[in-house]
Chains A and B, each alone.
Chain A
């Protein structure tokens, strides 16, 4: 929870990425940390300032005799001298609201700078994520009611995503391929799903007749949860798999893949043994 990897990273003090490029989880963690830190600072400062002001300028609100609110005439003297505009019943208020203008623009400018800065940082990271590593192989993901089917380069299909550690894999996600989405009303076809792995920080909508892409890379072998995050029917709540992604050591994966014939042996060999993409 709360991007638990952030906490794990900090605590373990060791880089999550074994060899080279930042994987999507690193990107997400960096971004989330930056936004959380700035967002919390801004939030705390603004909220504190609001509460402080609301308290500092609170006056004794004992209502005047027989009334429900204060008697404004008790401030008559102050009103003459001060520079703050007070609402008058039936006034035309345009243009006034004396003072506070400079402060307003200063605060606005600062907040704008913070927001724009964060977004520029986010955009830079977006470009990184959108630039799928060249040495990624492509695996097709077909979402349906209510599980996923993964198609390897050889055409082999599985119901779990098996990937080797430290190697990028691109997922080409859909709910049904263009031309194969069936005829409405005849019980076939598919609805909109998503494929999401929070642990691997990857997700994409699975839309009938459309393709979307995302990529994953994970260094710790193990099983990772996959879940559907778009309401897709009565079984949507159960459309989650704790072992949806299985990350294996590279040699283990090689054995598995050769057994299952998940891709051409030579390609597999090249892929696993090639140098990883350079650091970003």
Chain B
């Protein structure tokens, strides 16, 4: 589908892939979650009007506290920032859209649906009640009330969906910012907001992979009864390390966009360029890198040793220093400024003040001996609300700042100032008393009598703060219908490109191709069939401007598939928690033959019916029958299906829908032209898709690394060489694994040959080597099935037998899942190669190369998996 329906139609919003539309969707949805999480916060404060409040019971209070944290951190703060990122980053760098528009839409729908899954979990017996930090072992089935087991699992799977959304988003933004900048715009020149988003997505790429590892292991403990987080050799500590390795970068992920917004707003409303811009950027980059080496400061009271506490004390102090520099840079920008106290400036200024207080109190926490008292107390709660909510306050300033650009209307300035006054007073009334009564433990509603007054002040502040939002909603909504229209830049002293175009921007963003080649922004009109590189380009920092390929570039803007793929994820998330362990993998197994059939059917529709499509449809039948046979063997055909509960069928529908939508999105002809005449340093000559694949692999390295590292962590404490002797198998079958090593290496060889022959234009040889790769993968799985049958069935060593079993089956199982995914993609590639896709104008042999990158990664993981899980 190419063209977008008008804004007024519902369909438009369901199928759009345009970054501006998606930005608006994120904005509205994140505010929705803000309201939900905010109401939960008001419930907390009401409960705390008096010690031992009775509005909520203990377990309910814990759920409210947990959901408040989860929703705010994940479903409000970052998405709110990414509303602006989606809308503005392409505009600021001179691009027409993000690199992967459909994936961008999918990020949004996965985000929405994952949040709905979390909300649904409340109604499935109860959501998680162990805090947003989900500490082990409170998060495992043994400690979840039986009635809430389903809701608990839904919440975790919802989080998995969210992580998927974020990972897709980070791949997208990274590729866009590196490869789609306007001519002449070097990396160091991009506006500060886009710079902050760049660093945010770098952190997201690696940090969320660690969270994904943690939530996969947790889901496994729930769905398959593995023992990761109950293992007494450090199961709880394993969660803490995995979670905080993610958790600390996460708080900067949440804050950085706000920092970028503050920098831009203070610059604009001071009428002065940011002082020390170069150092500001370096400081931000340093923080982004350092954020990965401070995580144990959340664990100072655990059993970690003194030397490591000292190291992390030092790194924590180290990370506070770049923030000092950034704060001073913002302050000095105001000196000799021409400051106008407009609403965005007031919010940015307020955020700065709040952040300073939050930051100073954070240094207290970095002093280990102080942290010994502060840990788990309201000092921490006050500190992080000051820093995190200062981010929200700054982004609200951003909302006022960019509102005219997005809507073409100006908000009511007086009401904006009123909002600020109430918000600032309410904020401090709510959070400052928390420092005064810091000895109150976190997540607790019983406290000494003497604290009651301050808790009541805080509650009053909460309501004032909440009410102030109503002023904003009213203001922004009414202003849409006012007659205060704006031109391209209603503000004085704006600098970045979004202010040089209409408000709101037209669908194609710019009146011509944006270019900074002359030293400042111009909109160049290129003739459509320009064949060569323009003369007289100033030397850039090594970037190569690509010549236009000379054909009319038509971009697609709409697709149903992102919504449908995400919907299948929602169905699975909401259903899977209710399925018992013996049934849980079957919906996904059954979806496989459906995928094969859909490949045939969709392929026939899109590429013209060929023999290969018939073959797929035909082969899917015995495949399905074989699986039904397996199911019969396991459960009995009639009894099995009769005994399966509703959630099994819901998940089955979701999985089959997923199979259909993956086939659909794969075959969809969706044209996204490669960027031309852009800066692409340091990824010149790397296509967008290839860069996207490499960044994705970067995150997959962390995922598998964390999974393997989890085994290493536990094994280290168990006693490294005592591990296998203590395991419950009688005889470890090593040779299937060895054969598999040769097989996977051979399949890496065949896939690279497939690429070679694809490039040389040999259809037969390409098909041959793609098929050989598929065959190799099949042999791998057959070997694995033999090996698992031997160990699991014959020797009775299961994934629940012991921790060795848990780690072995889960890690090698996840690897096998990656192999299966590879095989599914190979089937797709074979069908496409058969119909000649890789020798056409639209697509070329590189698709085989991109798949090869994934496949080689799967091979490399095995090169470490085999020694570590079989031999050593």
Distance of A126 Cα from B59 Cα, bound (Å): 37
Distance of A246 Cα from B441 Cα, bound (Å): 21
Interface string of A204-247 (1 = CB under 8 A from B): 11011111101000000000010111111111111010000000
Question: Which residue on A lies nearest to B192, using beta carbons?
Answer: A93
A194-B450 CB under 8 A given contacts A209-B232, A234-B57: no
B353 to chain A, nearest CB (A): 6
Distance of A263 Cα from B674 Cα, bound (Å): 79
A85, A101, A189, A202: the one contacting B137 at CB < 8 Å is A189
Question: B273 and A96: CB pair below 8 A?
Answer: yes
Question: Which residue on B lies nearest to A43, using beta carbons?
Answer: B360
Q: Which chain B positions have C-beta within 8 A of A57? A: 270, 334-339
Question: Which residue on A lies nearest to B275, using beta carbons?
Answer: A100
Question: Which residue on A lies nearest to B443, using beta carbons?
Answer: A231
Asked if B439 is an interface residue, CB under 8 A from chain A, the answer is yes
Interface string of B260-282 (1 = CB under 8 A from A): 00000001101111111111000
Question: A1 and B302: CB pair below 8 A?
Answer: no
A-B pair number, CB within 8 angstroms? 340
A79 to chain B, nearest CB (A): 10
Question: A203 and B301: CB pair below 8 A?
Answer: yes
Distance of A228 Cα from B131 Cα, bound (Å): 14
Distance of A95 Cα from B62 Cα, bound (Å): 50
A35, A54, A225, A238: the one contacting B370 at CB < 8 Å is A35
Q: Which chain A positions have C-beta within 8 A of B441? A: 196, 227-229, 240
A88-B495 CB under 8 A given contacts A31-B370, A231-B131: yes
Q: Which chain A positions have C-beta within 8 A of B377? A: 196, 198, 229
Question: B268 and A87: CB pair below 8 A?
Answer: yes
Q: Interface size class for chain A?
A: 35 or more
Distance of A88 Cα from B497 Cα, bound (Å): 11
Question: Which residue on A lies nearest to B184, using beta carbons?
Answer: A92
Asked if A184 is an interface residue, CB under 8 A from chain B, the answer is yes
Distance of A194 Cα from B442 Cα, bound (Å): 11
Stretch at the interface among B210-218, B322-330, B742-750: B322-330
A231-B372 CB under 8 A given contacts A59-B340, A85-B273, A115-B324: no
Asked if B777 is an interface residue, CB under 8 A from chain A, the answer is no
Question: B376 and A100: CB pair below 8 A?
Answer: no
A54, A87, A118: the one contacting B363 at CB < 8 Å is A118
Asked if B233 is an interface residue, CB under 8 A from chain A, the answer is yes
Residue among A32, A118, A204, A210 with max Cβ neighbours from chain B (10 Å): A210
Stretch at the interface among A103-111, A134-142, A147-155: A103-111
Asked if A122 is an interface residue, CB under 8 A from chain B, the answer is yes
A210-B302 CB under 8 A given contacts A27-B369, A69-B340: yes
Asked if A275 is an interface residue, CB under 8 A from chain B, the answer is no
B855 to chain A, nearest CB (A): 37
A29-63 residues with Cβ-Cβ distance < 8 A to B are: 31-32, 35, 39, 42-43, 46-47, 49-50, 53-54, 57-59, 61
Distance of A151 Cα from B753 Cα, bound (Å): 69
Distance of A181 Cα from B57 Cα, bound (Å): 28
A32-B303 CB under 8 A given contacts A53-B331, A104-B332: no
Stretch at the interface among A11-19, A70-78, A162-170, A253-261: A70-78
A68, A86, A92, A196: the one contacting B410 at CB < 8 Å is A68
A231-B138 CB under 8 A given contacts A28-B370, A57-B338, A181-B232: yes
Question: B185 and A92: CB pair below 8 A?
Answer: yes
Asked if A278 is an interface residue, CB under 8 A from chain B, the answer is no
Question: B324 and A31: CB pair below 8 A?
Answer: no
B146 to chain A, nearest CB (A): 11
A129 to chain B, nearest CB (A): 5
Asked if B516 is an interface residue, CB under 8 A from chain A, the answer is yes
Distance of A43 Cα from B356 Cα, bound (Å): 7
Asked if B646 is an interface residue, CB under 8 A from chain A, the answer is no
Asked if B490 is an interface residue, CB under 8 A from chain A, the answer is yes
Q: Which chain A positions have C-beta within 8 A of B276? A: 97, 100-101, 104
Stretch at the interface among B153-161, B165-173, B234-242: B234-242
Residue among A88, A95, A234 with max Cβ neighbours from chain B (10 Å): A234
Question: A72 and B492: CB pair below 8 A?
Answer: yes
A75, A129, A179, A228: the one contacting B369 at CB < 8 Å is A129
Q: Which chain A positions have C-beta within 8 A of B333? A: 97, 100
A71 to chain B, nearest CB (A): 7
Asked if A266 is an interface residue, CB under 8 A from chain B, the answer is no
A22 to chain B, nearest CB (A): 12
Asked if B519 is an interface residue, CB under 8 A from chain A, the answer is yes
B233, B302, B336, B356: the one contacting A84 at CB < 8 Å is B336
Question: B360 and A94: CB pair below 8 A?
Answer: no
Question: A232 and B520: CB pair below 8 A?
Answer: no
Residue among B342, B442, B495 with max Cβ neighbours from chain A (10 Å): B495
Q: Which chain B positions have C-beta within 8 A of A178? A: 232-233
Asked if B84 is an interface residue, CB under 8 A from chain A, the answer is no
Distance of A242 Cα from B368 Cα, bound (Å): 26
Question: A69 and B491: CB pair below 8 A?
Answer: yes
Q: Which chain A positions have C-beta within 8 A of B185? A: 92
B352 to chain A, nearest CB (A): 7
A89-B499 CB under 8 A given contacts A39-B361, A59-B340, A104-B325: yes
Stretch at the interface among B313-321, B389-397, B684-692: B313-321
Question: B493 and A115: CB pair below 8 A?
Answer: no
Asked if A21 is an interface residue, CB under 8 A from chain B, the answer is no
Question: B227 and A184: CB pair below 8 A?
Answer: yes
Residue among B232, B237, B486 with max Cβ neighbours from chain A (10 Å): B232
Asked if A116 is an interface residue, CB under 8 A from chain B, the answer is yes
Question: Which residue on A lies nearest to B360, using beta carbons?
Answer: A39
Asked if B341 is an interface residue, CB under 8 A from chain A, the answer is yes
A104-B500 CB under 8 A given contacts A31-B370, A92-B189, A234-B57: no
Question: B277 and A97: CB pair below 8 A?
Answer: yes
B439 to chain A, nearest CB (A): 4
Distance of A69 Cα from B494 Cα, bound (Å): 11
Interface string of B483-519 (1 = CB under 8 A from A): 0101001111111010110000000000000001001
B516 to chain A, nearest CB (A): 6
Distance of A236 Cα from B376 Cα, bound (Å): 12
Question: Which residue on A lies nearest to B188, using beta carbons?
Answer: A94
B262 to chain A, nearest CB (A): 12
Question: A238 and B58: CB pair below 8 A?
Answer: yes
Distance of A201 Cα from B369 Cα, bound (Å): 10
Question: B486 and A115: CB pair below 8 A?
Answer: no
Asked if B570 is an interface residue, CB under 8 A from chain A, the answer is no
Question: A191 and B143: CB pair below 8 A?
Answer: yes
Distance of A112 Cα from B333 Cα, bound (Å): 20
Asked if A119 is an interface residue, CB under 8 A from chain B, the answer is yes
B142, B325, B494: the one contacting A108 at CB < 8 Å is B325
Asked if B448 is an interface residue, CB under 8 A from chain A, the answer is yes
Q: Which chain A positions have C-beta within 8 A of B138? A: 191-192, 231-233
Q: Which chain A positions have C-beta within 8 A of B230? A: 181, 184, 189
Q: Which chain B positions have C-beta within 8 A of A181? A: 230, 232
B87 to chain A, nearest CB (A): 19
Distance of A96 Cα from B52 Cα, bound (Å): 57
A1 to chain B, nearest CB (A): 6
Question: B275 and A99: CB pair below 8 A?
Answer: yes
Question: A122 and B232: CB pair below 8 A?
Answer: no
A103, A184, A236: the one contacting B142 at CB < 8 Å is A184
Q: Which chain A positions have C-beta within 8 A of B450? A: 1
Asked if A67 is an interface residue, CB under 8 A from chain B, the answer is yes
Q: Which chain A positions have C-beta within 8 A of B271? A: 72, 86-87
Task: Give 8 nearest A-B pairs by CB, closest first.
Answer: A229-B376, A90-B521, A122-B367, A61-B340, A100-B275, A87-B495, A209-B232, A184-B230
List 24 contacting pairs A-B, 8 Å CB cutoff, sorted by A.
A2-B436, A54-B341, A57-B335, A57-B339, A58-B341, A68-B410, A84-B272, A89-B499, A90-B520, A100-B275, A104-B328, A104-B329, A107-B328, A116-B317, A118-B367, A123-B367, A123-B368, A126-B369, A184-B137, A184-B140, A198-B439, A229-B444, A233-B58, A233-B138
Q: 5 additional contacts, CB 8 Å, given A203-B373, A233-B58?
A: A87-B273, A93-B189, A101-B275, A208-B236, A209-B234
